[in-house]
């Protein structure tokens, strides 16, 4: 049995002492990681032109080409390379500049094993999405289309001096793209959080409205997605579906500690479609046609034509953005929860059940194309020890659907 | 002779002529002048009325002035410098300072209220006033509440009382203003310290990162080396016991060495220790510089080595300039200068940061760094520090404004516009020095600080709290 090919990792810092420190510290990973060290942005670009890197870790403040500029260039020319910023200090404005280009952030000094764990976690994501072209697609995503309504409301709310955290959180929680970006930042090392957050209000409270304003002002963080009600899908209908599943999943998980996770997983579970709607309209159309023609569930048609489903693609993106593992898993397997060897009811199970019960008509999302749905049934509830039976689940989901429609 | 005939209420001209010895002849009534005199009489009475009215007016306006004078918070007074008693003091003194006005008529009472430490300066000010100079003096003054307040007095000689040593003055309680000035000064210090703190955090985090990396490596590596040593011993024992041949032992040991990459460890462990020590020295230098920069508990001027001050200021400001400029120091042999070192450091810092910003505006986009050159030298009785940058120069139209408080060319929130104003105030007002600049469009700017080698530092009655950081 041959050892897997080592992953290529590039470190960039203008201080040679940092590079030599990293080199000796990470020496014990030599067999798994092929590590290279560049002492400037320009030297890093030369290295990237020489060979394909799986991951780049760059200092932010460097003379000449700084880290933001370097990671921006990498996002354009080598989008499948995972981008991590390692910074000694960054102010709000610098963070806002970095947000579109860095997948994850680390602070110097970064505690023992944190760097190693982050690198390993990022590289493991490759297993979720083996096709480098799809990784490049997800890797190139700086921001996702925000619904016009949420975007307008957010700008208006943040422009007021008296804006409250609850009001701003309410707007963000109504939109998948806003929620994903907010959770990405709140869970990033920049904001020195010790626990994972999946509750939007806590996330906004933790970041503070000052940071939210800086983000809203920074071009390319919250992108107003106007023109995506296109040939393949209607973003507003998809958004409505995500909100319904989120509310239903939370209501299913209400007696467990997984309420926030279930809600966030519900809101983000179809985030892969946000990416496909943005950059892969023709391919998505072909998947839809195949699903309709052959009576396949859409995710199977996607797997066949694209090499991966929207669920894998979305999960990979959320993983890149450093969202909690449970959330990433819930998104990755929401169409195939049985594949996860886990007999415990948590966010994934809540989303899978909610999606099976909420009865969204796909035809409304996919411009009149009805594709076969797959879902879980009664037997599944027992296998995961769900704290409710099927009729109770149906009751809760129906009540959630009604309240989302009413709002 | 014009007589008034009371019975007729008329004015008559009575003429008398002397006819001869002892004989007077009265010529009787010649003419009735009543009509002619009447206007005169009216004028007279009017004049009298007018005098009365004017007097009343004068009194009223005097009262008005007095009321005005005594309604302000500035207390007016006139002092007999001989006796030290006030010949006048505004009635508001009781309201303002708590003392009844009469107390100040006592000999020497005014002087006794001045804080003992400030008395020599106050006496000196009175002397100067007697010698026909206008003087402004700040001193601590005891109020009836038994607390000292900062009182500013404007004193001048009394020109109309030449034979006596009298001075007049106004005194105003400036405690609040003094506090505000101090707060503003502190605020600017805090602002620059806050901005620096971010940079210093970066400067410290970098060595801490690689010290920690190297130490982790050393920890793991030492574990491996110990394990290898353990195996060597085992092999030695086995060879001694005859259960292993020397050749086998060697082979086994070499395999062990290979497995833990002993070559890499031996090559890199000494360097890792070296690097860690360098990193620690870097942190120590920054911390030392911060301590030197903030000079805690300095409420009196002291002797300072400005070359050292420049170096420590450069260390803590490093993050402000290192990405945009190289710094070159040409420090000459200069004598120690008596100064408020922390304030002078602040002034130096503000000028250096200003130079870094000038260079960064020009360097933005360009690949080449700018240059900041700091030179010290002695010129006559003065120590000269010049800070030259290769920035874009100061535009003609703002050259006369750059020392104005709150003047800034930076975007809102980036600078308070206090930096150069404070630098000037520290150098000129506190140290009797001089701060000038020469600038050339497209070439750069040189700020020149001149300090008397033994400067007459302004005595400080209210030294600000020092030692912000450490």
Report pLDDT digits (tens) over A254-282.
888 899 999 999 999 999 998 888 888 88
Q: Which of A21, A91, A109 is closest, CB to CB, to B198?
A: A91
Query: End-to-end distance of chain A based on CA atoms, in angstroms?
Result: 58
Tell whether A265 is covered by a domain.
yes
Spatial distance between the Cα atoms of B23 and B75, rounded to a whole number of angstroms? 74
Q: What is the pLDDT averaged over residues B438-447?
A: 90
Q: Which residues of A touch B203 (CB under 8 A)?
A: 88
- Residue A286 sits in the same domain as residue A376: yes
pLDDT at A111 over 90: no
pLDDT at A192: 60
Q: Nearest CA to A228 among A148, A309, A314?
A: A148
| Cα–Cα distance list, B332 to A50, A112, B306, B434 (Å) | 50, 46, 10, 19
| Cα–Cα distance list, A96 to A7, A102, A286 (Å) | 30, 10, 37
Identify the CATH number of the domain in which residue A93 sits.
Answer: 3.40.50.2300
Q: Which of A171, A192, A224 is the last residue of a domain?
A: A224
Q: Categorize the per-residue pLDDT at B20 as very low, low, confident or very high, splitting at 50, 70 and 90.
A: low
- Residue A251 sits in the same domain as residue A400: yes
pTM given for the model: 0.72
Backbone angles phi, psi at A306, to 5 degrees: -95, -20
CB contact under 8 Å between B275 and A20, yes or no, is yes
**Residue of chain A whose alpha carbon sits nearest to that of B282:** A17
Joined tokens for residue B331: 């420090």
Domain count for chain A, please give it: 3
- Residue A213 sits in the same domain as residue A239: no
**Residue of chain B whose alpha carbon sits nearest to that of A14:** B323
Secondary structure, 3-state, chain B:
CEEEECCCCEEEEEEEEEEECCEEEEEEEEEECHHHHHHHHHHHHHHHHHHHHHHHHHHHHHHHHHHHHHHCCCEEEEEECCCCEEEEECCCHHHHHCCCHHHHHCCCHHHHHECHHHHHHHHHHHHHHHCCCCEEEEEEEECCCCCEEEEEEEEEECCCCCCCCEEEEEEEECHHHHHHHHHHHHHHHHHHHHHHHHHHHHHHHHHHHHHHHHHHHHHHHHHHHHHHHHHHHHHHHHHHHCCCCHHHHHHHHHHHHHHCCHHHHHHHHHHHHHHHHHHHHHHHHHHHHHHHHHCCCCCCCEEECHHHHHHHHHHHCHHHHCCCEEEEEEECCCCCEEECHHHHHHHHHHHHHHHHHHHHHHHCCCCCCEEEEEEEEEECCEEEEEEEECCCCCCHHHCCCCCCCCCCCCCCCCCCCCHHHHHHHHHHHHCCCEEEEEEECCCEEEEEEEEECCCCCCCCCCCCCCCCCC
- Residue A41 sits in the same domain as residue A189: no
pLDDT at B328: 94
% pLDDT > 90, chain A: 34
Joined tokens for residue A373: 């749905």
> pLDDT tens digits, residue range A181-233?
899 888 887 666 566 888 899 899 888 888 888 888 776 677 776 555 566 77
Spatial distance between the Cα atoms of B465 and A36, rounded to a whole number of angstroms? 51
pLDDT at B462: 45
Tell whether A1 is covered by a domain.
no
Average pLDDT value for chain A: 86
The DSSP letter of residue A4 is: P
CB contact under 8 Å between B322 and A25, yes or no, is no
- Residue A292 CA to chain centroid, in angstroms? 28
Tell whether A33 is covered by a domain.
yes
CB contact under 8 Å between B206 and A15, yes or no, is yes
- Residue A304 sits in the same domain as residue A357: yes
Q: Which residues of A touch B367 (CB under 8 A)?
A: 64
pLDDT at B465: 41
Q: Which domains does chain B have, with CATH numbers?
A: 2-69 (no CATH), 73-173 (3.30.450.20), 183-452 (3.30.565.10)
pLDDT at A211: 84
- Residue A270 sits in the same domain as residue A190: no
Higher pLDDT among residues B396 and B163, named by residue = B396
pLDDT at B3 over 70: no
Hey, is A224 helix, strand or coil? strand
Q: Which of A224, A250, A279 is the last residue of a domain?
A: A224
> Which are the contacts of A191, defined by CB distance < 8 A and separation ≥ 6?
A185, A206, A207
Q: Which residues of A touch B211 (CB under 8 A)?
A: 21
pLDDT at A331 over 70: yes
Q: Which residues of A touch B202 (CB under 8 A)?
A: 61, 88-89
- Residue A209 sits in the same domain as residue A341: no
- Residue A112 sits in the same domain as residue A18: yes
Distance from the Cα of B174 to chain A's closest Cα (Å) equals 36
Q: Which of A21, A62, A110 is closest, CB to CB, to B214?
A: A21
Joined tokens for residue B35: 């009509």
Spatial distance between the Cα atoms of B453 and B336, rounded to a whole number of angstroms? 8
170-199 in chain B: CB under 8 A from chain A: 198-199
Tell whether A135 is covered by a domain.
no
- Residue A340 sits in the same domain as residue A391: yes
Identify the CATH number of the domain in which residue A297 sits.
Answer: 1.10.3210.10
% pLDDT > 70, chain B: 82
Strand partners, B25: B17
Tell whether A229 is covered by a domain.
no
pLDDT at B166: 81
CB contact under 8 Å between A112 and B216, yes or no, is yes
> pLDDT tens digits, residue range A56-71?
999 988 888 989 999 9
pLDDT at A193: 58
CB contact under 8 Å between B272 and A24, yes or no, is yes
A20-34, A355-369, B39-53, B135-149: segment of lowest average pLDDT: A355-369
Place of tokens 């009394």: B158
Hey, is A104 helix, strand or coil? strand
Q: What is the pLDDT averaged over residues B413-441?
A: 81
Helix (H) or strand (E) holding A86, with range, is strand A82-87
Q: Categorize the per-residue pLDDT at B296 as very low, low, confident or very high, splitting at 50, 70 and 90.
A: low
What is the domain range of residue A220? 145-224
B330 close to A (CB below 8 A): no
Joined tokens for residue A396: 């809760």
- Residue A193 sits in the same domain as residue A118: no
Strand partners, A64: none
> pLDDT tens digits, residue range B314-328?
998 888 888 888 999
Tell whether A137 is covered by a domain.
no
> Which of B209, B260, B263, B282 best probes binding to A when mutated, by most A CB atoms within 10 angstroms?
B209
Residue pair A266/A248 in contact by the 8 Å Cβ criterion: yes
Q: Which residues of A touch B371 (CB under 8 A)?
A: none
pLDDT at A237 over 60: yes
Q: Which of A68, A100, A128 is the last residue of a domain?
A: A128
CB contact under 8 Å between B275 and A107, yes or no, is no
Place of tokens 């985090």: B205
Higher pLDDT among residues A36 and B158, named by residue = A36
Q: Which of B202, B207, B213 is closest, CB to CB, to A89?
A: B202
pLDDT at A89 over 80: no
Average pLDDT value for chain B: 82
- Pick left, alpha or beta for residue B9 (phi over 0 → left; psi -120 to 50 → alpha; otherwise beta): left
A280-294, A311-325, B159-173, B409-423: segment of lowest average pLDDT: B409-423
User: Given the DSSP bridges, would you call strands B10-20 and B2-5 parallel, antiparallel or unpaired?
Assistant: antiparallel
Q: Does residue B137 have a cis peptide bond before it, meaning omega lies within 30 degrees of 0?
A: no
CB contact under 8 Å between A61 and B261, yes or no, is no
Residue pair B171/B104 in contact by the 8 Å Cβ criterion: no
pLDDT at B197: 78
- Residue A75 sits in the same domain as residue A14: yes
| Cα–Cα distance list, B86 to A8, B104, B105, B168 (Å) | 90, 5, 5, 9
Q: Categorize the per-residue pLDDT at B6 as very low, low, confident or very high, splitting at 50, 70 and 90.
A: low
Residue pair B78/B87 in contact by the 8 Å Cβ criterion: yes
Tell whether A186 is covered by a domain.
yes
Go through A342-355 and write b for each residue having 16 or more CB atoms within 10 A of its CB, e for each that does not: eeebbbbbbbbbbb
Tell whether A139 is covered by a domain.
no
- Residue A241 sits in the same domain as residue A195: no
Distance from the Cα of B281 to chain A's closest Cα (Å) equals 13
A3-12, A192-201, B28-37: segment of lowest average pLDDT: B28-37
Joined tokens for residue B14: 């009575």
């Amino acid at each position: 049995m041959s050892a897997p090919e080592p992953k290529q990792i590039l470190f960039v810092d203008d201080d040679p002492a940092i590079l030599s420190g990293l080199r000796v510290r990470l020496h014990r990973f030599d067999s798994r990681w092929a590590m290279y060290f560049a002492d400037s942005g320009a030297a890093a670009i030369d290295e990237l032109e020489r060979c394909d890197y799986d991951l780049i870790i760059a200092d932010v403040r460097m003379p000449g080409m700084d880290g933001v500029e370097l990671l921006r260039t990498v996002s354009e020319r080598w989008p499948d390379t995972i981008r991590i910023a390692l910074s000694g200090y960054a102010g709000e404005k610098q963070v806002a500049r970095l947000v579109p280009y860095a997948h994850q952030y680390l602070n110097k000094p970064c505690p023992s094993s944190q760097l190693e764990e982050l690198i390993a976690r990022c590289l493991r994501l490759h297993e979720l999405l083996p096709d480098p072209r799809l990784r490049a697609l997800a890797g190139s995503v700086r921001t996702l289309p925000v619904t016009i309504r949420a975007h307008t409301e957010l700008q208006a709310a943040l422009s007021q001096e008296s804006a409250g955290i609850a009001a701003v959180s309410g707007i963000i929680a109504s939109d998948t793209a806003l929620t994903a970006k907010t959770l990405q930042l709140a869970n990033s090392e920049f904001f020195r959080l010790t626990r994972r957050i999946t509750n939007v209000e806590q996330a906004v409270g933790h970041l503070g409205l000052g940071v939210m304003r800086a983000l809203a002002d920074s071009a390319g963080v919250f992108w107003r997605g106007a023109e995506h009600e296109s040939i393949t899908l209607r973003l507003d209908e998809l958004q409505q579906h995500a909100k319904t599943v989120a509310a239903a999943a939370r209501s299913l998980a209400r007696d467990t500690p997984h309420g926030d996770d279930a809600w966030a997983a519900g809101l983000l579970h179809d985030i892969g479609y946000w990416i496909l709607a943005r950059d892969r309209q023709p391919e998505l159309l072909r998947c839809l046609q195949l699903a309709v023609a052959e009576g396949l569930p859409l995710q199977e048609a996607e797997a066949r034509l694209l090499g991966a489903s929207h669920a894998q693609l979305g999960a990979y993106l959320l993983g890149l953005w450093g969202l909690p593992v449970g959330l990433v898993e819930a998104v990755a397997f929401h169409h195939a929860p049985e594949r996860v060897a886990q007999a415990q009811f948590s966010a994934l199970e809540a989303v899978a059940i909610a999606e099976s019960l909420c009865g969204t008509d796909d035809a409304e999302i996919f411009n009149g194309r009805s594709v076969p749905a797959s879902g879980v049934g009664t037997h599944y509830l027992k296998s995961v020890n769900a704290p409710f039976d099927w009729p109770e689940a149906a009751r809760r989901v129906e009540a959630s659907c009604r309240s989302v429609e009413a709002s | 002779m014009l007589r008034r005939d009371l019975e007729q209420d008329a004015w008559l001209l009575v003429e008398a002529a002397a006819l001869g010895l002892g004989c007077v002849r009265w010529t009787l009534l010649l003419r009735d002048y009543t009509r002619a005199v009447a206007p005169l009489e009216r004028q007279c009475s009017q004049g009298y009325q007018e005098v009365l009215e004017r007097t009343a007016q004068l009194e009223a306006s005097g009262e008005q002035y007095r009321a005005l004078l005594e309604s302000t918070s500035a207390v007016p007074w006139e002092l007999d410098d001989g006796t030290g008693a006030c010949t006048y003091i505004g009635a508001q003194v009781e309201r303002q300072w708590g003392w009844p006005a009469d107390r100040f008529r006592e000999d020497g009472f005014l002087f006794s209220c001045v804080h003992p430490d400030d008395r020599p300066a106050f006496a000196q000010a009175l002397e100067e006033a007697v010698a026909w100079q206008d003087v402004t003096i700040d001193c601590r003054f005891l109020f009836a509440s038994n607390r000292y307040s900062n009182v500013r007095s404007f004193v001048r000689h009394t020109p109309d009382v030449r034979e006596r040593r009298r001075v007049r003055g106004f005194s105003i309680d400036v405690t609040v203003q003094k506090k505000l000035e101090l707060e503003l000064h502190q605020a600017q210090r805090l602002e620059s310290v806050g901005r620096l703190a971010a940079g210093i955090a970066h400067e410290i985090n970098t060595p801490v990162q690689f010290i920690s990396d190297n130490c982790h490596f050393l920890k793991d590596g030492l574990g491996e080396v110990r394990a290898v040593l353990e195996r060597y011993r085992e092999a030695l024992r086995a060879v001694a016991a005859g259960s292993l041949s020397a050749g086998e032992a060697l082979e086994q040991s070499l395999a062990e060495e290979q497995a833990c990459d002993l070559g890499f460890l031996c090559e890199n462990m000494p360097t890792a220790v070296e690097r860690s020590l360098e990193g620690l020295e870097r942190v120590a230098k920054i911390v030392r510089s911060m301590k030197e920069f903030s000079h805690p508990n300095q409420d009196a001027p002291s002797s300072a080595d400005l070359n050292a001050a420049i170096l420590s200021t450069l260390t803590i400001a490093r993050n402000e300039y290192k990405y945009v400029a190289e710094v070159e120091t040409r420090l000459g042999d200069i004598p120690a200068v008596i100064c408020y070192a922390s304030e002078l450091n602040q002034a130096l810092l503000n000028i250096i940061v200003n130079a870094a910003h000038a260079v960064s505006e020009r360097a933005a986009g360009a690949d080449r760094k700018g240059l900041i050159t700091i030179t010290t030298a002695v010129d006559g009785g003065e120590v000269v520090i010049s800070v030259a940058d290769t920035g874009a120069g100061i535009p003609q139209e703002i050259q006369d404004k750059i020392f104005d408080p709150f003047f800034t060319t930076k975007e809102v929130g980036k600078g308070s516009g206090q930096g150069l104003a404070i630098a000037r105030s520290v150098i000129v007002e506190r140290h009797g020095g001089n701060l000038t600049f020469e600038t050339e469009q497209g070439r750069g700017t040189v700020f020149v600080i001149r300090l008397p080698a033994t400067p007459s530092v302004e005595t400080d009655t209210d030294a600000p709290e020092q030692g912000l950081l450490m």
